[in-house]
Amino acid sequence: MINPQWLRSFMVLAERGSFTRTADQLGLTQAAVSQHIHHLEAQLGPLLIRRPRQVELTPAGQALLGYCDDMEQAEKRLNLRLSGADDRQGEISLITPGSIGLSLYPLLLDLQASYPGLSVRHRFAPDQDVLEGVRNNHFELGLVTLKPDDPRLVACHFADEPLDLVVPATATVNSWEDLESLGFIDHPDGHAMASRLLSRVFPGNRGIRSIACKGFVNQVGLILEPVARGFGFTVIPRYAREAYAPGEAIRVVEMGPRVVDALWLIYRAEWPLSARARFVASELASRLTGETLALV
Amino acid sequence: MINPQWLRSFMVLAERGSFTRTADQLGLTQAAVSQHIHHLEAQLGPLLIRRPRQVELTPAGQALLGYCDDMEQAEKRLNLRLSGADDRQGEISLITPGSIGLSLYPLLLDLQASYPGLSVRHRFAPDQDVLEGVRNNHFELGLVTLKPDDPRLVACHFADEPLDLVVPATATVNSWEDLESLGFIDHPDGHAMASRLLSRVFPGNRGIRSIACKGFVNQVGLILEPVARGFGFTVIPRYAREAYAPGEAIRVVEMGPRVVDALWLIYRAEWPLSARARFVASELASRLTGETLALV
DNA sequence: TGTATTGATAAGGTTTTCTTATGATAAATC
DNA sequence: GATTTATCATAAGAAAACCTTATCAATACA
């Protein structure tokens, strides 16, 4: 590794051809510039031929000038990466639960179409894996349904995710017994969501565990298929339900008080969120909910 | 441009994850390493998260590590260019008169076949252009027929270039009058060479200007064609004549004393000749004359 | 609770880099 | 030919940067 000030002197000298003019330009004395070149030549061999009124580069001098150019390019790349100045360029790494992830997927594709400089790495995972992924610096952004209490993570309210009770289009549902007759279509977060919603709609019910499980699937996009075929009911977030093809043989039961899950956007607290991640997170929130995301 | 010692500390720290172990490896104190990182972070923002017993890089830290990598690659390229360590790789730039150039051309092609890492830039030019080309650093090696008296150039004896009097195969040449009957086929160095040779073979002759000029061509490879067809005689270097296809309708007149032009290899005196140029020059001399080239 | 490990920081010693002054050389001008 | 101007190299000393030593604070472990 070569002293950067020496290289700076050499570059200006190569351009201007005179020690005196180089010193002027750099705000140093001619003697300092002479010493810099002396150090470089001690290390690398003869770099230039001194002529009255003008220096000439040797091949070694030309090689060193090439190196200086390489260095400048590398520094530009570093500065670009550090500043993240262009918030519409670079990688976005996002890890989300399947429900909201399914809703965001087309929005992310739209963003990529609008800003071709963006590339998106998006993984669907349960809450626990989301936390790990962000904490371990594998993903810059994550969405979780429970606000984490971890000093290493920032959590911003991203959106509210209402839960829907979804039944076959032809079903009649007015009581807990109607649900028992239908049966339950489960998914990874199925029990937790059903418990939360149904304990509000049917207070004092016997619990979701007393209803026969008629199916299980861990792909959010596939949960409503058995419901549409009349095999049973399920409880899923509205965004996931809305992402399903319209005109299917399902309907939502609007009964009792609404239950809403808050979604939290998380990222590492110890360093600044990149400009592009800020931009994309804001766009997603805005396009999903129509509201402005309040990042800290 | 960032202080190289700071970068070195950062690189080792990123690898070993501890200030104390980094200091050990670099032969510095832990306090020095701490200060280096402090300087870098002052300039570039948080680069790492301090954990008990292990540090973790931020994205900015990772960007800086990428820069360090770029720096190391650039330095390797520079060292390779400076050392010219591999004398069988890189560009050879050579400028020669046509006569010897024609002889060297197949030898250069052979060398390239043997050492694919070599690339050859070879130009045919008269003496004066050879001197300019080397002096102006456009070509590293040059061949000239007159030893230059210029402190900027080194001149090594490369080869001796005997001159041949070439006549049509069917011609009878015993006197000056026989040459006058034939006529002279001229080329750019034709008059000078003919004067030198013929003043030795036919002392007191009337001079080459008294002989009718029957042709002129400035491509060395084409001079002997009109001679073969009986249009006249010429005087050219033996190497150029030997480069002509054998079995042609020409012959060499062996009369009187031999005349030999010395060929000088020239290159710039102010910096060392590259290893590959040394190698190639030696190979050419050896393959052309069977002798060892004495480079200074 | 006591001990060991680790990184940050203050103060001072050491090294490097800079400036000032001078000398040598070449070219231009009188 | 003598003098002046322009330019780079070098020596010496001043200023700045970098390093070490010593100490403190925080955390982990026995």
Within 10 Å of residue A136's Cβ, how many Cβ atoms? 10
Task: Give me the CATH topology for the region B4-83.
Answer: Arc Repressor Mutant, subunit A (1.10.10)
B25 touches strand D (CB under 7 A): no
Phi then psi dihedrals of residue A158, to 5 deg: -100, -50
Per-residue pLDDT tens digits for B27-51: 999 999 999 999 999 999 989 988 8
**Measured between CA atoms, how close is B59 to chain A, in angstroms?**
8
Query: Is the CB of A46 inside 8 Å of chain B's CB atoms?
Result: yes
B262 touches strand D (CB under 7 A): no
Token pair 């606000």: residue? A147
ipTM, 2 dp:
0.72
Contact residues for A181 (Cβ-Cβ < 8 A; gap 6+):
none
Per-residue pLDDT tens digits for B245-259: 666 788 898 888 888
Instruction: Check whether B166 has a pLDDT greater than 80.
Output: yes
Rounded distance, CA B36 to CA B28, Å?
11
Query: Is the CB of A75 inside 8 Å of chain B's CB atoms?
Result: yes
Query: Is the CB of B150 inside 8 Å of chain A's CB atoms?
Result: no
> Which parts of B244-293 are beta strand (E)?
250-253, 260-268
For residue A109, the SS3 value is helix
Question: What mean pLDDT, rounded, does chain A reach?
Answer: 87
Per-residue pLDDT tens digits for B125-144: 888 889 888 988 888 999 99
Q: What is the dihedral of CA A134, A140, A145, A149, to 10 degrees?
A: 50
For residue B182, the SS3 value is helix
> Looking at the DSSP assignment, which residues form a beta bridge with residue A176?
none
Of B58, B74, B274, the CB nearest to A270: B58
Rounded distance, CA A98 to CA A100, Å?
6
What percent of chain A is modeled with pLDDT above 90? 30
CA atoms within 13 Å, Cβ hemisphere of A59: 24
Of B81, B140, B272, the CB nearest to A63: B81
Q: Which residue of B has its CA nearest to A82?
A: B60
User: Do the chains contact at A70 and B77, CB–CB below 8 Å?
Assistant: yes
Per-residue pLDDT tens digits for A248-281: 788 898 888 888 888 999 998 888 888 889 999 9
CATH architecture for segment(s) A162-256: 3-Layer(aba) Sandwich (3.40)
User: Do the chains contact at A70 and B67, CB–CB below 8 Å?
Assistant: no
Per-residue pLDDT tens digits for A190-231: 888 898 898 888 888 888 888 888 888 777 777 888 888 888
CATH hierarchy code of domain A90-159+261-289: 3.40.190.10
pLDDT of residue A203: 86
C-alpha to C-alpha distances, B29 to B14, B68, B145, B271, nearest whole angstrom? 17, 22, 64, 42
Rounded distance, CA B78 to CA A67, Å?
6
CATH hierarchy code of domain B86-296: 3.40.190.290
User: Is A9 within 8 Å of A33 (Cβ atoms)?
Assistant: yes
Query: Is the CB of A45 inside 8 Å of chain B's CB atoms?
Result: yes
Q: Which DSSP letter does residue B203 get?
A: T
Alpha helices in chain A (DSSP H): 4-16, 19-26, 30-44, 59-83, 98-114, 127-135, 176-182, 190-201, 224-228, 238-242, 275-289
Domain ranges (residues) in chain B: 4-83, 86-296
Read off the pLDDT of each residue in A14-24 and give the average, rounded to a whole number: 92
Q: Do domains A90-159+261-289 and A162-256 have the same CATH topology?
A: yes
